[in-house]
A = this chain, B = another copy of it.
């Protein structure tokens, strides 16, 4: 059985590492000749919308999946008409457009921050009195790691902000006074079976995830599960999904969802009985889903920009290193490390040391 993956970065790499023990083979399509999943898979080297390569991918792969949600609609349509593609195209269509995504949450009865569709500077000027400051202007499409976004502190920011996003269709979103950001990772099979991981509590800086901690027995676990279950069932979803949420006085508001394995779930490799990567594969292959039970305490720290000093990370108690085989570059995720421990003191000490090691090489 061969799995095709659009994109050959670290997510494809970790999917492949989880898939070999299941007897799977992989083929990735990625324009980067040095894509990190390359050594682990057959590598089609070229543009994501190259019709010849897409035809080859569809021909060679039994099932196609992807490691990012910004797959052009016609690419998704082409692949879907030639082979099985999971998650389904409708999930992509919603996830890659912030307005459709927010509307979708509201339709499901899931709260969000206040937002408005913005197609002109006039729209923005009209919306702001109701949304209030501060707020954030975001392009509807292709937003990733804080790019294509502008902060609005007062009416004087509006024209410059509108210019900075190049006048593309946007939404403006009000701030909500959240106490923390969490995400829930879940997987759904074609037969409708769903499993949920314990909540991840996430720390961002500059719009980029820095630390994700497994929160076992969180008081809001059931609420998060209800939200993501609604989403999965409405979309007839298959595979792993990540739903990002704001905790506002115990109410979980939806921020966004990613129709794929997610950075906030990397701790599941060591910290859960079955990783998100393996469960994504089990789900799209309609195999029984694996247990999502946590294994003790676990957290993940991203290394961004600079490389982690391997021996320093490996010398820490209960620490695990994951290099992505990527050249260090400003703001680029090149590795992560996980602490997994049954001992609360070791856990806290190693997490803090990993945080400091990551901060020391962070250029973002």
Number of copies: 2
Min Cβ gap A310→B in Å is 6
User: Do A39 and B25 touch (CB < 8 A)?
Assistant: yes
Complex Cα gap A295–B291 (Å): 15
Residue in chain B with minimal CB distance to A21: B322
A98 within 8 A of B: no
Complex Cα gap A274–B311 (Å): 15
Contact (A287, B311) CB under 8 Å given A39-B25, A322-B21, A325-B23: yes
How many residues does chain A have at the interface if contact means C-beta atoms less than 8 Å apart?
34
Using Cβ atoms and an 8 Å threshold, which residues of chain B touch A282?
314
Q: Which of B22, B287, B321, B323 contacts A323 (CB 8 A)?
A: B22
Residue in chain B with minimal CB distance to A278: B320
A288 within 8 A of B: yes
A340 within 8 A of B: yes
Using Cβ atoms and an 8 Å threshold, which residues of chain B touch A40?
20, 39-40
A62 within 8 A of B: no
Using Cβ atoms and an 8 Å threshold, which residues of chain B touch A273?
318, 340
Contact (A320, B39) CB under 8 Å given A311-B288, A314-B288: no
A290 within 8 A of B: yes
Using Cβ atoms and an 8 Å threshold, which residues of chain B touch A293?
318
Residue in chain B with minimal CB distance to A324: B23
Q: Which of B20, B287, B310 contacts A310 (CB 8 A)?
A: B287
User: Do B25 and A20 touch (CB < 8 A)?
Assistant: no
A17 within 8 A of B: yes
A13 within 8 A of B: yes
A317 within 8 A of B: yes
A315 within 8 A of B: yes
Using Cβ atoms and an 8 Å threshold, which residues of chain B touch A13?
20
Using Cβ atoms and an 8 Å threshold, which residues of chain B touch A274?
320
User: Do A318 and B291 touch (CB < 8 A)?
Assistant: yes
Residue in chain B with minimal CB distance to A269: B21
Using Cβ atoms and an 8 Å threshold, which residues of chain B touch A322?
21
User: Do B22 and A20 touch (CB < 8 A)?
Assistant: no
Residue in chain B with minimal CB distance to A343: B293
Within 8 A of B (CB), among A173-227: none
Using Cβ atoms and an 8 Å threshold, which residues of chain B touch A290?
314, 320
Contact (A314, B291) CB under 8 Å given A13-B20, A22-B323, A23-B325: no
A28-62 CB mask vs B (1 if < 8 Å, else 0) is 00000000000111000000000000000000000
A268-308 CB mask vs B (1 if < 8 Å, else 0) is 00000110000000100001101101011000000000000
Offer 8 A-B interface pairs, CB within 8 angstroms, sorted by A.
A13-B20, A20-B39, A23-B323, A25-B39, A39-B40, A39-B41, A287-B310, A291-B317
**Which residues of A pack against B, CB within 8 Å?**
13, 17, 20-23, 25, 39-41, 273-274, 282, 287-288, 290-291, 293, 295-296, 310-311, 314-315, 317-318, 320-323, 325, 335, 340, 342
Known: A17-B21, A23-B310. 4 other contacts (CB 8 A): A20-B39, A20-B325, A23-B335, A287-B311
- 3 cross-chain pairs, A with B, having the tightest CB-CB distances, nearest first: A23-B323, A288-B315, A21-B322
